[in-house]
Amino acid sequence: MVQRVAAEPDPHFRAGRGEPVLLLHGLLLTWQSWGAVIDELSGDHEVFAPTLPGHWGGPAVSGPATFTALADFVAAVMDENDWPTAHLVGNSLGGWLALELAARGRARSVVAIAPGGLWEADVPATQQLIRKYRAFGPVLGVGAGSSAPSMVRSLVIPLLAHRPAAVPHALATACAAAPAHCHVVDDLAQDPTLANGFTGLAEIQAPVTVLLCEHDRLLPPRFHGRGIAAPGVESRTLPGVGHVPMLEAPDLVTAEIRTAIGRAASHG
């Protein structure tokens, strides 16, 4: 599955049967970033992994991309699948969107991996994040619309994984190619919602697990001041991984997702 990555990816990937699990990728990437997690979960769940608007292979954006508009897209995807609720799993931007959908009552459980939006309002974290993306953007060819040379792969993967050598070659190639086809970074950077982050934790009824990443170079654990100690939220740090832990430790990520799903079942 993940090995066929040379061409533009399909807009989504579906596999398996069972309770629904929705996987939401991070900024600049595509559903392919979930790698072997899709294969492992689809053994006993129906897994749907879409690519977000404005990302490689995903739908075009019809207006300025905002966090609300992206959350609306995810809600529409769930409606198209006839999923009133699902187990929502998101990484980075996808983690923020999973929390947004949970606040709308669409979650059976939530796993937010290195999520955006859990910073305190109006703190330097948001500006640091914007500066990182703007600094790395030209180097990585963000929005340039061309295929990434091998040199770009050598720059992208160390930003996403703590152990680049552990990332399968084809998966690394796919993730390195994706940023050149992402066209929403500037819009999201200008969205006023960014400064305040996600503010709806109190509205979420489903169990929430927040997973931080020990060696996260984009959203270090210290950025997550809000929510990690909130009532009903379980939080912990995944050891030895970077910002997109699925790339280098899919078994670890799958185990955490299964634990969260089991936690939701025990809560009835």
**Catalytic site positions:** 92, 216, 243
**Dihedral (CA of 212, 214, 216, 220) sign:** positive
Contact between 73 and 184 (Cβ < 8 Å): no
Nearest-5° angle of CA 263, CA 81, CA 61? 105
Contact between 154 and 175 (Cβ < 8 Å): no
Helix then strand then coil, % of the chain, to nearest 5: 45, 15, 40
Q: Environment class of residue 81 by beta-carbon count within 10 Å: exposed (0-12), middle (13-18) or buried (19+)?
A: middle
CA dist., res. 5 & res. 2, Å (int): 6
Distance of CA 29 to the CA centre of its chain: 8
Tell me how far apart the alpha carbons of residues 89 and 208 are, in angstroms, rounded to a whole number: 10
Q: Which of 211, 215, 228, 244 is nearest to 25 (CA)?
A: 244
Give CA–CA dist 268/265, Å, rounded. Answer: 5
Angle subtended by helix axes 124-140 and 150-160, to nearest 10: 160
Query: H or E element: which one contains 112?
Result: strand 107-113
